Structure 1
Amino acid sequence: MENQHIIVRVATPDDIHYSKTITDEMEASAKARGTGIAKRSPAYVELKMQEGKAVIAVTDKGEWVGFCYIEAWGHEKFVANSGLIVNPAFRGHGVAKSIKHKIFELSREKYPDAKIFGLTTGLAVMKINSELGYEPVTYSELTDDEEFWKGCRSCINFDILTSKDRKNCLCTAMLYDPVAKLKEAEEKAAAEMAAKAAASNNQMTVSASGHIHHEKRRRRFKGNIKLYERWLRFKRFVLLNSKKEGGATGTRKKFFLF
């Protein structure tokens, strides 16, 4: 990859010759990680390119580098950025982050009112999602569109998902809610204006005991990346051991995940 410039852009019909390479790498990567993803055919990837609902990364010499696509669910109330994959030869150089940012921008452009969500087992992807404004959520906050969940059938962990009544699995759910983000921005702006006004008037809110009151800030996901790394290891241990020792339904041992 020396002396090659990487271009991250919206995919077009001219990129369909990369489709087989992309889907083959998706499958190989899933096997190497020991986790599953919803299988996609070259024809499906080509459709996303033709619709302008995919982002591709290539070198200036035409070598494929990475890919990701958009799926809309629940009458376009939810959008998923799916199938993120990077050519092994180009990993570790920030390509995934560039693709995630570009596909996020494309999603907001095409579906400005939709909630954007993702399911992932990768800590690096969760960190990127967090930087974009996603928050970890429960599965119940995702789309209830049956077509989306049917896509999980090709995943090697599908029996875990079904045994948990679709409430949990090895993947972590993350969600970007544009309405919540707008409200958060408005509240932040209002708080900053109030703080400036208070500072200009040299005012401070003090309790009867003389202690200054501070607003308790909610801890952000990206500030607790190590905590989530430990949680992911624990979650994987619990679910996989439950599967091994008691079958898909975990009849021998019961674990409770919150």
Structure 2
Amino acid sequence: MILRVANAADAQYVETLCQWYEQSAKQRGVGIAKRDPNYLIKKMERGDAIIAFLDDQLAGFCYIETFEDNKFVVNSGLIVNTELRKEGLGRAIKHRVFELSRTKYPQAKIFGITTSGPVMKINSELGYRPVTFQDLTQSDDFWKGCGSCKNYQILQDNNRKMCLCTGMVYDNLNDQFAQQPQETINFIEEPQQH
């Protein structure tokens, strides 16, 4: 398995990833926001995503976004190839995107919202805790991303204070990532070939 920071060359996988997001929402019967292909490409170009391969086959993806002047970072869009689920790949991707978030933004709280039990379990393992939506970013840009979710009206009816998703936050800003200067942390990148 290869887990690495995505880059501009990975744009070739965006159409497949967008199809996976739609299929996942239909299969699980839960609300999941659709992803814009150009948005995913920007995440790749900026090095704000983790992409996974198994035997040279696209296996999974997750990206990060910042809000409120880097006060909050969301790990979003975790998706795993349906044929490769139950292999621990989602957990591995979540761990990698968590490391990327803590490395790039060591003073930011990491958060997410999800309806997925397995994602909640992984988040708990990483040190996230459940919180009310008031403890999450209040950025309109973040909440606009929920607009394509089938449960969006519930969120709107509750003035963005609750929905069917569970909000979770990692806010231990004194962990090992905060103790190291950002530019010295290179473990996320692939080793260079000589």
Tell me whether 1:86 sits opposite 2:80 in the alignment: yes
Is 1:21 paired with 2:16?
Answer: yes
Counterpart CA distance in 1 for 2:22 and 2:66 is 22
Higher normalized strand content (fraction of residues) = 2
Aligned to 1:75: 69
Distance 2:41 2:156 in 1: 30
Q: Deviations over 1:120-164 (max 9, x none)?
A: 011111110011000000000000101111111111001111111
One-letter code of the match for 1:44? Y
Residues 1:7 and 2:2 aligned together: yes
Given the two structures, how large is their TM-score scaled by the length of structure 1? 0.66
Greater gyration radius? 1
- In the alignment, the residues of structure 1 paired with residue 159 and residue 29 of structure 2 have an alpha-carbon distance, to the nearest angstrom, of 22
Map Cα deviations across residues 77-126 of structure 1 (whole Å, 9 max, x no partner): 00000000000110000000000000000000000000000000111111
SS at match of 1:178: coil
Task: Tell me, yes or no, if structure 1 residue 122 matches structure 2 residue 116.
Answer: yes
Q: Is the 1:137–1:173 contact (alpha carbons within 8 Å) kept by the matching residues of 2? A: yes
Pair 1:102-2:96 in alignment: yes
2:146 paired with 1:152: yes
Query: Is the contact between residue 114 and residue 178 of structure 1 (CA under 8 Å) also seen in structure 2?
Result: no
TM-score scaled to structure 2, two decimals?
Answer: 0.87
Secondary structure of residue in 1 paired with 2:112: strand
Runs of 4 or more consecutive aligned structure 1 residues displaced over 4 Å after TM superposition: none
Structure-2 separation of matches of 1:178 and 1:12: 29
Q: Distance in 1 between matches of 2:147 and 2:40?
A: 18
Q: State which of 24, 30, 34 in structure 1 corresponds to 2:29.
A: 34
Structure 1 residue 14: deviation in Å?
1.7
Map of 1:166-185 to 2, 5 A cutoff? 166-179=160-173
Cα distance in 1 for partners of 2:104, 2:160 equals 29
How many equivalent pairs are there? 175
Root mean square deviation, CA, Å: 1.1
> Does 1 or 2 have the higher relative contact order (CA < 8 Å, sep 6+)?
2
Q: Which residue of 1 aligns with 2:105?
A: 111
- Structure with bigger helix share is 1
Offset of residue 63 of structure 1 = 1.0
Uncovered stretches (5+) of structure 2, i.e. residues with no partner: 176-194
**Matches of 2:10 and 2:140 in 1, distance apart?**
30
